[in-house]
Amino acid sequence: MDKILARYNELIALIEKYNQEYYVNNISAISDYEYDQLYKELVKLEETTPEIIITTSPTRFVGDVDNSLVGSDKKIEHQIRMYSLENSYSRDDIIEFIDKVKKVVNATVKKIEFVIEPKIDGAAVSIRYKGGVLVEAATRGDGVIGEDILDNIKSLGVLPVTIEDKGEVIIRGEAYMPISTFNKLNIEREAEGETLFANPRNAAAGSLKLLDSSKVASRGLKLFLYSLDLGRRFDNHFDDLKYLKDLGFPVNENCFKFSETDDIMDAIFEIEKIRDELDDTLNNKLDYELDGAVVKVNDYAIRDELGHTSKYPRFAISYKYKSESVRTKLLSVTFQVGRTGAITPVAELVSVQLSGSVIARATLHNNDEIKRLNIRIGDTVIIEKGGEVIPKIISVDRDVLNIDGREIEIPTVCPVCGYALANDVSGVKGYCINRECPAIVQGGILHFASRDAMDIKGFGVKVVEQFLEHDLIKDISDIYKLDRKKILKLEGFQSQSVDNLLEAIEQSKTQPFHRVLYGLGIKHVGRTATKLIIKQFGDIDTIMKATEEDISAIYGIGVGSASTLVSFFKDEINIKIVDQLRSNGLKFEKEPDLLNKTALDRTFVITGKLSHEREYFKDLIESYGARVSSSVSKNTDYLLAGSDAGSKLKKALELDVKVIDENELNIILTGSR
Ligand SMILES: [Zn+2]
């Protein structure tokens, strides 16, 4: 029992430490997978020995599915009203604001300090701690009454489980979806035929209100907290922000404090620059949408004197940056058929320059979006692109005369094969359900050959189109039966290019099982899910025999993925394709653990430019049973460094981590084989 208790406490300490590092300091000391393993072990311990459970266990803060009564019927009245801010757009607006503040406040106060902070484009939240424990979380709602999102906020794991301050505190902030997460989520949703989110803000707001807390956790939302509204510790906002950070809350670092108008304006533009320019330390752009800056009076006494209007506080104002937008004309709308059969409307535009790239198309997401915009052919539309997000149509300019004005016809049959379309569950998108639909067949083959799956170089759209047209392939299994002579007869193929293509196809047979399984393109089964499934079942025969129950019992696999996986392998045609791929020598079982004493249980970090993509080396290292982590720490054994290695190399040298090149990596991995 003592042993169990010791492990229990150790697990809690580890998980809290990693949560803190990841969510507060933005460091991933271990992989998601390793983190999940620790977490799972903790859950198991609590199940088998419930008497040891402590109330502050991280399990009580993550994915509490039973308490999923979140949503519209659980309202929370805010103890302190949540105001929104007045917007401003020019230097004059800011000067006017500062003058007003000075006028109201006692003239003897010479210098009034202002704090300038980034305005994150997400969803406002209010959280309350009592006795050092998180007890309440709510959306802004109408400012007076919000929705209870406590379970969902807990499931994110972004807030400290307990804090040292044992008083009652109410803290406000912004929940946001990182841009990288947003783009990935939409790519996945597109691949799986689900409705796309219009922007990270909608995605964040929508995710916060999901009924299933475990789903919220997978959305990867983060938080920035920006005001302490109850339980203030200092007489000013700036010091309280630092206090919040010390308590372990995520607080944005780009906050400034100034008195002079010029300095305030500079700070506002400084924050805008941070948004638009490369950040040297991060080596990439900010991973969140930032739509402006907020200017707030620092001193609480002055704030109280200023008070509120019926809508806004008089002590703060937001300055909105102009997001890049441009006007262009809608020429037509095409309806694309994805590999899952989902039909997505795409706007074809008169091409324009926007944020440094030429835009000729923008997604219209789904049929509802067409209705919402009330858009017609020939309309002048305003398209916008913020940060790294895909361009979108935000509105129609009704002041410009549209002489065309044809309505956009929503197809009832597949634009490619003519099959009658089925509706998806939400009814906002059509689906082609003809499995022989050329678009679906082609999409499936391209997916199989794509970089994340079998990575067959040179097997792109043009080639696949030609092969399909000349009946060289019908499905993915035919890729491995291609006839050199027949390809040479096609237009544009020379002997050398055919050799290269066939060599790339031959090479792909060595790809690990998880890539093969992912390449099959099973709906709702993404890359992570594939790896988890293989980890559990090992080989294809076991996977094909697994029941929905077996599969959904895997931590991290949803019921939806389990059911599509089972029905996929019930299908005779799919079984036949798998058999043929297998007889062509593709891998259908987990790489054996080689028990390499040198590499096993070692942790690698990869940096710099290497001869292959990072993913290649990650797969290679993991196939030997070693781990790959994303950041260098004391626990790193080797840093695999290519050319142009930067901060990771520096850190490795500081920490005395052994730095190796590709040759040395091979020696380490294969050395004691
Ligand atoms: Zn079709």
Domain definitions of the chain by residue range: 2-61, 87-320, 325-411, 438-508, 513-583, 603-670
CATH superfamily of 513-583: 5' to 3' exonuclease, C-terminal subdomain (1.10.150.20)
End-to-end, the C-alpha distance of the chain in Å comes to 40
Rounded distance, CA 173 to CA 162, Å? 18
The predicted structure's pLDDT at residue 532 = 79
What is the share, in percent, of the chain residues with pLDDT greater than 70?
89
Could you check whether 438-508 and 513-583 share the same CATH topology?
yes
Average pLDDT over residues 16-23: 67
Q: Which amino acid is at 661?
A: D
Stated as kind and residue range, the H or E segment containing 47 is: helix 32-48
Assigned CATH class of 87-320: alpha beta
Pairing of strands 290-297, 114-120: antiparallel
Residue among 100, 119, 257, 658 flagged as catalytic: 119
Residues in the 5 Å CB sphere of ion ligand 1: 414, 416-417, 419, 432, 434, 437
Burial letters 305-314, b for 16+ CB under 10 A, else e: bbeeeeeebb
CA of 424 to the centre of ligand 1 (A): 15
CA of 336 to the centre of ligand 1 (A): 10
The answer regarding whether domain 325-411 maps to CATH 2.40.50.140 reads yes
Q: How confident is the model at residue 62 (pLDDT cuts 50, 70, 90)?
A: very low
Architecture of domain 438-508: Orthogonal Bundle (1.10)
Rounded distance, CA 444 to CA 473, Å? 12
CA of 115 to the centre of ligand 1 (A): 57
Average pLDDT over residues 459-476: 94
- Residue 646 phi/psi, 5° resolution? -115, -115
Q: What is the pLDDT of residues 594-607, one digit of tens each?
A: 444 456 678 899 98
Rounded distance, CA 213 to CA 221, Å? 12
- Residue 306 phi/psi, 5° resolution? -75, -40
Burial letters 9-28, b for 16+ CB under 10 A, else e: eebbebbbebbebbbbeeee
Q: How confident is the model at residue 669 (pLDDT cuts 50, 70, 90)?
A: confident
With tokens 């077996």, the residue in question is 550
Tell me the fold of 603-670.
Rossmann fold (3.40.50)
Instruction: Look at residue 575 and give its three-state secondary structure.
Output: helix
- Is 119 an active-site residue? yes
Least confident of 277-286, 431-440, 472-481: 277-286
The predicted structure's pLDDT at residue 667 = 77
Say yes or no to pLDDT of 58 above 90: no
| CA atoms in the 13 A half-sphere facing the CB of 531 | 10
Q: What is the pLDDT of residues 159-205, one digit of tens each?
A: 988 899 999 999 999 999 988 888 888 877 777 767 777 778 888 88
Instruction: Look at residue 589 and give its three-state secondary structure.
Output: strand
DSSP assignments along 105-155, one per residue: S-TT-----EEEEEEESSEEEEEEEETTEEEEEEE-TTSSEEEB-HHHHHH
Is the whole-model pTM more than 0.85?
no
Rounded distance, CA 446 to CA 464, Å? 7
Tell me the fold of 2-61.
Helix Hairpins (1.10.287)
